[in-house]
Chains A and B, each alone.
Chain A
């Protein structure tokens, strides 16, 4: 880059009274990078790279020295001397910074900016034991500086100031030298791998080798199929109907797709048909599925699945009671909502329930899910219930807001219903539904009738 022939063209620039040699403009730098990179994204990548060069301190701005970005115009920059490059790997110590600030104080008192003054006071306190040494070094450097020719001194001052701007940036300056907390464990340290670890690794490899894998053409084909299926539902690829709330400031889209709408949108109903997982994940879809199951008198499978989910994701303390209820309701011989699963799974599950843990229903739940997935789900899609909701479903007209209306929308954005309130409503509804669909206790009913007699 700095090559006199093929690098960036520099020129002399007058700064105050002195002439600074080899000054370059931001737009020249970016153009040079773009040319070298041969990027297709219109020099945007060059802009990014340019920014990084400034953020790391390889190139520094001459005038607005606190703005560590590469401006694509006639803003002036200079290459930093390699001495100050971050690749030199010496850490910018506090004592070095103290010497720098002290030196500036010696040169002319009151020249430090407020943030620098704050640093100086802080360092004066913490490095007090070294202060004589610091002042001595600062004085030495100041004297050495005076020996230099004025232009060289001005250039060096710029370079040094740029270096400290990178390493001790003021509050609103973002320098790339900023970093997060260090890693705890250094992964490149050669750890001695123990006997046990090798044995475990070998078992892992053996299992991995044994595990059935799928041909790339099959699994990649599935990924592509997924994208194609969901293409029209991706707001970045197809328009949101009636409009994307973030674009138009109208939350109609969210209101139309709330949890408990009477009539869902066409897109939402279509999504239910993509998989049983989609149908069940959307609680509105699950409701519709329940209507269908009620008509078929086969609601117990889904009820069991829901109960198993509650167990899996519930609190550790509630598991025992939940497991008991589930057993009584779904699995015990003669249970009111007995689920029809194969003997082996039933046997395993019942045995597991003697010492319930959160995954005790896993086998039964998977069996039930697969049953629903392979049979019930497809019958649902062909059923009058689904066809009915498809017909009724809303197809909102795309919004066509005028600029004035958009402005109005932006002014009248509301907070919507708070999730906490929605949650409370949901819990109430769930309780009501549970009470309503609780299996009829035939014995109690009979004894009631008997008593009436």
Chain B
């Protein structure tokens, strides 16, 4: 009870008390609903993932080798993305440089210098004809690529997205015409590339949004985002509504990635764990962690079949997890500083990691035992 309600204005006092009571009432209702949701989720939880996976054959020994080391960035590599041709990649770094490489030959094909530092997001267009990037400039810009090596790409730059704070991630949708972005301002947004028009915005995170991933499903209308509020939210692109939300991580979620079937997604967090969330059962179904792993996960991605989950960590290593059994199958070394970004190639033949040690490494299986 508020002891400072003036007794001279009894009506206002009653109104204020009523408002406080309604707020408290809403809060209790919220808490009750939240526990009811947990109850409903638990009712359907009849088995654990590793139990269902008992009949699945175990994995053998894995030997993975670095097949390419891409040197050319003068500062921390922050983000990378593969081209649909399965061999080219785009990468961005702290000093504002965005480089397009043919990772197979290790040739640098294009380079752009952004007007800002900390280019935390970059993406390759599905057509292979453009790249998008952004960071501390709060924008996402699209650069059409050219066959002419001497052409100045910055001249044709197109400013598409405008956020009120740093751009943390961006991704093209199924075509070059739309871009999905996430930002430190706590929102995600869908943009029309040609006009720069905002098509849809997504509000719901209580803090910076750090990552996003589009669902690989036949409808292609949803995406998942992860933020500093420890939540992973699934959004409907059409309505802008958050349709599912998961809050089991204990710290910032740095990376989210859909399981190849689109029915689940994995997340990597500063709490040193990776987690798997089942969308149809609406719950977390696995935690990939070890007592000895105490450093945050910066990025995660699945192998083509979804059996392996690769995680890049802040202790300079990559841990490879057996998604079904929940065990770690391999630790990979090589980088001399944090692994900041990790993506499996579109045909699953290799995966690339970018690091604060200024390099990118492409790794593939060495031999199958």
Contacts and interface: CB of A to CB of B under 8 A. Distances in A.
A215 B44 contact: yes
Contact of B85 (A45, A237, A416): A416
A44 B295 CA distance: 15
Nearest to B252: A183
Interface string A184-228: 111100010101001101101111110101111111111110111
Interface string B130-170: 00000010000000011100000000000000000110000
Contact of A216 (B62, B177, B221, B285): B285
B71 interface: no
Interface in A43-78: 44-45, 47-49, 51-52, 55, 69
B281 A219 contact: yes
A251 interface: yes
A209 B128 contact: no
A128 interface: no
A317 to B, nearest CB: 6
Contacts of A309: 174
A192 B306 CA distance: 41
B307 A209 contact: no
A234 interface: yes
A343 interface: no
A187 B33 contact: no
Interface residues of A, number: 95
Interface residues of B, number: 122
A214 to B, nearest CB: 4
A244 B23 contact: no
State the 3 A-B residue pairs at the shortest beta-carbon distance, nearest first: A419-B128, A205-B33, A230-B305
22 contacts: A37-B291, A181-B136, A205-B30, A205-B37, A208-B37, A208-B282, A209-B40, A214-B280, A224-B56, A227-B307, A231-B305, A234-B307, A236-B303, A236-B348, A237-B308, A315-B194, A316-B192, A366-B219, A413-B105, A416-B85, A418-B128, A422-B85
Interface of B: 22-23, 26-27, 29-30, 33-34, 36-37, 40-41, 44-49, 52-53, 56, 59, 62, 67-68, 76, 83-88, 102, 104-105, 107, 118, 127-129, 136, 145-147, 165-166, 173-175, 177-178, 184-186, 192-195, 197, 199, 206-208, 217-221, 228-230, 238, 242-245, 252, 259-261, 263-264, 278-283, 285, 290-293, 295, 303-308, 314-317, 323-324, 328, 331, 333, 336-337, 347-350, 356-357, 362, 364-366, 368
Interface of A: 37, 39, 41, 44-45, 47-49, 51-52, 55, 69, 174, 176, 178, 180-181, 183-187, 191, 193, 195, 198-199, 201-202, 204-209, 211, 213-224, 226-231, 233-240, 244-247, 251, 253-254, 257, 276-277, 280, 309, 312-317, 358-359, 362, 366, 369, 413-416, 418-423
